[in-house]
């Protein structure tokens, strides 16, 4: 009831009790199967698996996306692959009837984990593309910065339960559910999430995690058995006593805190301009979260308290706002959220405090840890293998290396004009940065010196990217096994391209991967204090110069960046 009040934004919600127990719902037979790899939902292997299950289901499938942007991307991919798509948009529920009358087609929805009745022969396959934990900007902020906010894990359990009922409404229903997000297993193993899942759904979750542990072989075998041998697939769920939760990575917080009344009151009073009451209620919410062990969540409400004082505008209120933030950050863990609060304190005190690159590191690394869980080491090893492989593999490896460096990496579609092999983007306090990569390989033998033609190709790509993003600083990165460059090639690359020896890229990957592995090991159960201590230790092993990535990938004036140059960027251990 606490989170329901938070979502509605009204007064306290009272649970109604009945004189007798309510009848148990009939769900029929259902099987949840999770993506056992570290690949993203729309990557080739995972999407191909989902489409093969749609064919086995008779041709129709319902896709439950977390947002309209995600649904738009999925629709574009399916249409490009020749699939028939029926997009369910707000106010157009007639689309469900249209889709249900065709033999083959994909119903694509956004944020519709409840309110859809796809029972009977309407749908035998429901595909949940991503973990339903962040369907709004505020929820995405909570997931990224406030890792110990237990109410978000409660919402995940609720939404998964709702999704698992879309095609199972009667005892005769029999449906397969797919979870494509690689973070599904990690999230469903979290005790706080499992706590919000009803006893009747618990067997479905437990079976899904058991299949997940068997990898792709077990996953494909379970799907095949479900479609071909109904009598051998998991039986319909019967109510069972709640068993001890499967061990998972509990990121902190008791999940029993009831702070919604104070939170809603704080936000409401702030909105209507009663800053004194808003500050008082925000302080009350922060105290409740602190008592429950939700350190980052508590600090957020101290920030709201400070904002209420600041908005009041009197000179004494500014001092109180600064004091609230100083108290919140004093002895706080060195997580990204606390670092942001510390910069806010510096701003209030009149100091010009520049953001450093380490925040990018730990935001990206924490997201990766949430996604991969115990498979992080395997994912890092796979990325390293790619970077040392063929041309296409190196392009994929660069995408992984971008994530390690705290940047966003993507491989543009080849249909683009002058498509680059890989594109990196990241933001700094001053500007957006972009790097376009061109990969050169030597099938066999000793590499020859870099020639002018290789540089000219990349110069054209830089020109295209610069026209697309006039306010972004764009440079080129030429990855080559060559150890020297011809004079004309070096001159052409002088002020727009950094020339990087392949061995240097491998060395950069190894150094960053080693630090991420250390960080993951030091984080322990993932609570704010453990992550803060881990960050403090790992920061000493990371490049100290602000903007180090931009400087490393700045034009190299015609010389090749070597392994020694990479080693020099990192502190000596």
Q: Which residues, in sequence order, are bridge partners of residue 409?
A: 424
492: CB partners within 8 A, 6+ apart: 452, 455, 456, 459
Residue 218 — pLDDT band, cuts 50, 70, 90? very high
192 pLDDT higher than 50: yes
Contact 477, 438 (CB under 8 A): yes
**Residue 279, CA atoms < 13 Å, CB-side half-sphere:** 19
According to the model, what pLDDT value does residue 542 have? 92
Write the pLDDT tens digit of every residue in 228-256: 876 544 444 444 444 343 344 444 544 56
The 10s digit of each residue's pLDDT in 517-565 is 999 999 987 788 888 899 999 999 999 877 899 999 999 999 999 999 9
- pLDDT score at 378: 87
Give the start-to-end residue ranges of the domains of the chain.
1-7+27-228, 262-352, 362-569
- Is residue 134 over pLDDT 80? no
pLDDT at 35: 94
Q: What is the pLDDT of residue 10?
A: 81
pLDDT for residue 473 is more than 80: yes
Structure tokens at 568: 């020099």
pLDDT for the residue 174: 85
Nearest Cα to Cα of residue 528 among 266, 260, 339, 285: 339
| pLDDT one-digit tens code per residue, 480-497 | 999 999 999 999 999 999
| b/e burial code for range 35-53 (CB count within 10 A of at least 16 → b) | bbbbbbbbeeebbebbbeb
Average pLDDT for 148-167: 79
- Mean pLDDT for the stretch of residues 293-322: 90
Beta carbons within 8 Å of 95's beta carbon, 6+ residues apart: 86, 87, 88, 89, 107
What's the pLDDT at 249? 45
Per-residue confidence (pLDDT) for residue 489, from 0 to 100? 92
Average pLDDT value over all residues in the chain: 85
**Lowest mean pLDDT across 116-130, 226-240, 378-392, 475-489:** 226-240
In order, the DSSP letters of 200-244 are TTHHHHHHHHHHHTTHHHHHHHHHHHHHH-GGGSPPPP---PPPP
Least confident stretch, 130-144, 209-223, 505-519? 130-144
Higher pLDDT, 121 or 99: 99
Q: What is the pLDDT of residue 122?
A: 81
Q: What is the pLDDT of residue 354?
A: 55
Q: How far apart are the first and last CA of the chain?
A: 51
> Percent of the chain having pLDDT more than 70?
90
More confident residue, 246 or 86: 86
Q: Starting at the earlier edge strand, list the strands of the sheet with 560-561.
A: 408-410, 422-427, 432-439, 473-480, 497-501, 560-561
User: Of 506, 558, 547, which Cα lies nearest the Cα of 398?
Assistant: 506
Query: Which fold would CATH assign to domain 1-7+27-228?
Result: Rossmann fold (3.40.50)
pLDDT digits (tens, 9 = 90+) for 25-72: 567 788 999 999 888 898 889 999 999 999 999 999 999 988 888 899
Task: Give the residue-averaged pLDDT of 207-228.
Answer: 93
Q: What is the pLDDT of residue 184?
A: 87
Average pLDDT over residues 314-341: 86
* CA angle (510 as vertex; 357, 40 as ends), nearest 5: 75
- The CATH number assigned to the domain with range 362-569 reads 3.40.91
Alpha-carbon gap, residue 205 to 504, rounded angstroms: 45
Q: What is the rounded distance in angstroms from the CA atom of residue 566 to the CA atom of residue 503?
A: 10
CA distance to 173, 175, 390, 432, per residue, from 118 (Å)? 10, 10, 46, 45
């Amino acid at each position: 009831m606490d989170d329901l009040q938070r979502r509605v934004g009204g007064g306290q919600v009272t649970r109604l009790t009945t004189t007798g127990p309510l009848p148990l719902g009939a769900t029929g037979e259902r099987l949840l199967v999770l993506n056992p790899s570290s690949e993203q939902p729309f990557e080739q292997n995972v999407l191909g698996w989902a489409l093969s299950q749609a064919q086995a289901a008779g041709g129709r499938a319902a896709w439950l996306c977390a947002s309209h942007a995600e649904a738009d991307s999925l629709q574009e991919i399916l249409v490009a692959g020749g699939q028939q798509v029926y997009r369910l948009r707000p106010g157009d529920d007639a689309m469900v009837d249209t889709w249900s009358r065709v033999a083959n087609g994909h119903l694509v929805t956004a944020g519709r984990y409840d309110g859809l009745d796809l029972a009977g022969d309407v749908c035998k396959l429901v595909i949940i593309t991503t973990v339903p934990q962040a369907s709004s900007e505020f929820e995405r902020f909570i997931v990224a910065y406030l890792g110990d906010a237990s109410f978000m894990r409660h919402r995940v359990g609720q939404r998964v339960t709702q999704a698992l009922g879309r095609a199972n409404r009667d005892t005769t229903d029999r449906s397969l559910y797919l979870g494509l997000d690689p973070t599904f297993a990690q999230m469903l193993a979290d005790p706080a999430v499992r706590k919000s899942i009803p006893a009747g759904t618990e067997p479905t979750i437990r079976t899904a995690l058991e299949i997940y542990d068997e990898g792709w072989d077990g996953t494909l075998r379970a799907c095949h058995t479900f479609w071909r041998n109904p009598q051998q697939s998991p039986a319909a769920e019967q109510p069972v006593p709640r068993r001890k939760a499967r061990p998972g990575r509990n990121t902190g917080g008791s999940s029993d805190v009831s702070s919604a009344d104070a939170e809603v009151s704080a936000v409401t009073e702030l909105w209507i301009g009663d800053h004194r009451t808003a500050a008082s209620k925000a302080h009350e919410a922060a105290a409740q979260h602190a008592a429950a062990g939700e350190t980052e969540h508590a600090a957020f409400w101290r920030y709201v308290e400070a904002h209420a004082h600041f908005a009041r505008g009197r000179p004494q209120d500014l001092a109180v706002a600064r004091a609230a933030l100083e108290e919140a950050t004093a002895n706080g863990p060195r997580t990204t959220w606390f670092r942001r609060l510390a910069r806010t304190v510096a701003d209030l005190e009149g100091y010009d405090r520049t953001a450093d690159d380490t925040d990018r590191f730990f935001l990206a690394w924490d997201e990766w840890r949430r996604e991969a869980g115990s498979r992080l080491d395997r994912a890092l090893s796979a990325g390293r293998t790619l970077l040392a492989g063929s041309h296409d593999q190196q392009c994929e490896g660069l995408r992984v290396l971008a994530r390690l460096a705290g940047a966003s990496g993507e491989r543009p579609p080849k249909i683009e004009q002058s498509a680059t092999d890989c594109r990196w983007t990241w933001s700094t306090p001053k500007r957006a940065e972009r790097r376009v990569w061109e990969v050169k390989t030597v099938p066999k033998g000793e590499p020859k010196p870099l020639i002018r033609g290789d540089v000219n190709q990349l110069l054209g790509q830089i020109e295209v990217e610069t026209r697309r993003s006039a306010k972004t600083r764009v440079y080129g990165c030429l990855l080559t096994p060559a150890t020297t460059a011809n004079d004309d090639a070096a001159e052409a690359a002088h002020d727009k391209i950094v020339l990087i020896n392949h061995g240097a890229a491998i060395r950069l990957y190894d150094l960053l991967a080693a630090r991420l592995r250390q960080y993951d090991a030091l984080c322990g159960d993932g609570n704010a204090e453990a992550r803060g201590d881990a960050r403090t230790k790992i920061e000493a092993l990371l490049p100290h110069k602000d903007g180090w990535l931009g400087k490393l990938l700045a034009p190299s004036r015609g010389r090749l960046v070597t392994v020694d140059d990479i080693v020099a960027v990192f502190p000596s251990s």
